[in-house]
Amino acid sequence: MSTTTKREPQTEAVAGPVQRRGDVVFAGLAKGAGVLIMVALAGVGLFLLIEGAPAITASGDQAYGNDNIVLFVWPLLFGTLLASVIALLLAVPLALGVALVISHYAPRRIAKSLGYVIDLLAAIPSVVYGLWGAFVLAPAILPSYQWLAGHLGWLPFFEGPATTGRTILTASIVLAIMILPIVTAISREVFAQTPRMHEEAALALGATRWEMVRMTVFPYSRSGVISGIMLGLGRALGETMAVAMVLSVGIGVVTVNLISPQNPSTIAANIALNFGNASGTKINVLVFSGLVLFVISFAVNFFGRWIAARGQVKG
């Protein structure tokens, strides 16, 4: 009598999605690059903290004639923020206008040509901007400063005397031109991402071209534009050579007079001008001012990323 054995049905394991080797390698490289950037950023911050710590107790000649480090850093921080804010006030309206023309108003050929020209501004070295600002813009703008001092001298911003064009306002104009391509490029890309159906719906309801832009383009791109502005602000805060070459600085000056020959310096320009002759604790003092600039720049970029992420979540 023969016996037959019944085979149990074999169940095959359900395998997950197969990952290609290229995807695995790319994911590993991307994660490694992100970790490397974070490590480098932490290393820079740690270096500035360690090297700048001895400056906390500096005073007198070690702190460039100031009683403590706060009195040394505060005028530099004021000048940095003042020049950067003025640059934003000058650059942002122009950048948004140019970006809007490129994305929604100009014909395609003209828009491309205009976009290329604006992008080329980002390729010009800072030294070239500094030379142009010191030897071309400053002499040319001096008569305008003299007119402002003569007619609007009752305002603290134009109190004068206007004896030179190498002022904080001139440096801010140069900074505005330098950050213009950054804000313009990001803004035009964000404007172009506005859903076409939203624009057509607004036009179909009888809105004019400007009303359509105001009701659909601006609300949709608000977070991206703010991120671009914050990125431009970070660029202005860290600019060194152009400001150092244009600005005629005074020691420990804190003033809102924009056309005076005595101007507050910026942190980056002050480091560039004094680091070569510094020694001992003075180096630590300059490094400490760099730490302050590092923290301010990090906070600005973090705020810009937070605004962008908040806008994406709402969208």
Q: Per residue in 106-117, pLDDT tens?
A: 888 888 888 888
Residue 48 has pLDDT above 80, yes or no: yes
Task: Give the pLDDT of residue 10.
Answer: 53
Residue 172 has pLDDT above 90, yes or no: yes
- The residues near 259 (Cβ < 8 Å, ≥ 6 apart) are 145, 148, 149, 157, 158, 159, 160, 162, 167, 169
- Nearest-CA neighbor of 165 among 187, 143, 149? 143
100-134 burial: b if 16+ Cβ within 10 Å, else e:
bbbbbebeeeebeebbeebeeeeeeebeebbebbb
Ranking 20-34, 81-95, 280-294 by mean pLDDT, the lowest is 20-34
- Nearest-CA neighbor of 73 among 278, 301, 264, 259? 264
Ranking 8-12, 63-67, 129-133, 169-173 by mean pLDDT, the lowest is 8-12
Task: Give the pLDDT of residue 311.
Answer: 60
Ranking 61-65, 126-130, 295-299 by mean pLDDT, the lowest is 61-65
Per-residue pLDDT reduced to its tens digit, 58-110: 888 888 888 888 888 999 999 999 999 999 999 999 999 999 988 888 888 88
**Confidence band, pLDDT 50/70/90 cuts, at residue 17:** low
Burial of 256 (0-12, 13-18, 19+ CB in 10 A): middle
The distance from CA 252 to its chain's CA centroid, rounded to whole angstroms, is 25
Average per-residue pLDDT for the chain:
85
Mean local confidence (pLDDT), 239-244: 87
Task: Give the pLDDT of residue 1.
Answer: 45
**Confidence band, pLDDT 50/70/90 cuts, at residue 171:** very high
